[in-house]
Structure 1
Amino acid sequence: MLDTSLVKSLIIERSKLHMNDPKVYEYWGKLTELLSRNVEDTINYLNHCSEEEIYWLSEIFEDISAKVNCQKYIECLKKLDKKYSNLNLSMDIKVAEEWMEG
């Protein structure tokens, strides 16, 4: 079962860091690990995320994709791209698809 409160707190902590802070990679690693454990839980979680949460998680879409290797996950990302069109997730999704194929 996905610990959504932990994911949310990691997103908040990550959002407070400067983009060049080396600690960013620690958060990416923790979030990727949590969100790669169970793809169904992850998809369910992503479908209920806020726009801001999706913004921060989009940094690791491709990392999750490489670990879960699941077309349903990619379809979820495409739905999020339509739902939050101003986030311009298309490039992140394209890279996630490539990582899944590779």
Structure 2
Amino acid sequence: MNIYNQITENLEERRSINEEDDFGLERSWEKLTNILSINESETISYLKNCSKEDLLLISSVFDDVSEKLQSKQFISCLRELDKKYPELQLTFFIDDAESYIQK
């Protein structure tokens, strides 16, 4: 299964989880983090082409993905998306994700 299908499946599953199901949410976030950390270029490609709604869901794992990828290109992609969708108010999440990159 390619990364696009894996992310789509994960996000569909995530949408079905009750917001009060902490264990279910945590498991979904962990799975999504692992998927997004497999291949940096495919992840960036996916993010550049996904919907606002998907991007907003994915923003909850920006920091974990950043920690695994250790990629300035990933952060640059997020900054571009922040400009594209200012109404999502992603700056805080992106700043936090950037702090996970080791200097």
Normalised-by-shorter TM-score class = over 0.9
> Could you say what the CA RMSD is over the residues aligned between the two structures, in angstroms?
1.5
Q: Distance in 2 between matches of 1:18 and 1:81?
A: 27
> Bigger CA drift: 40-49 or 2-11?
2-11
After TM superposition, give the deviation of residue 13 of structure 1 in Å: 1.3
Indicate the residue corresponding to 1:37 in structure 2: 38
Give the SS at the match of 1:29. Answer: helix
Q: Distance in 1 between matches of 2:79 and 2:57?
A: 16
Structure 1 segments of 4+ aligned residues over 4 angstroms from their partners: none
> Bigger CA drift: 8-17 or 60-69?
8-17
Query: Any residues of structure 2 matched to 1:42-81 within 5 Å, and which?
Result: 42-81=43-82
Q: TM-score, normalised by structure 2?
A: 0.92
Q: Distance in 1 between matches of 2:77 and 2:63?
A: 13
After TM superposition, give the deviation of residue 2 of structure 1 in Å: 4.2
> Bigger CA drift: 53-62 or 13-22?
13-22
Q: Distance in 2 between matches of 1:95 and 1:18?
A: 26
Give the SS at the match of 1:99. Answer: coil
**Structure 2: any 5+ residue segments left out of the alignment?**
none
Indicate the residue corresponding to 1:13 in structure 2: 13
Aligned length: 102
Tell me the percent identity: 35
- Taking a change above 3 Å as real, the CA distance of residues 97 and 2 of structure 1, as seen in their structure-2 partners, is farther
After TM superposition, give the deviation of residue 68 of structure 1 in Å: 0.1
Indicate the residue corresponding to 2:101 in structure 1: 100
Say whether the 8 Å CA contact 1:7–1:31 is kept in structure 2.
Answer: yes
Give the SS at the match of 2:101. Answer: helix
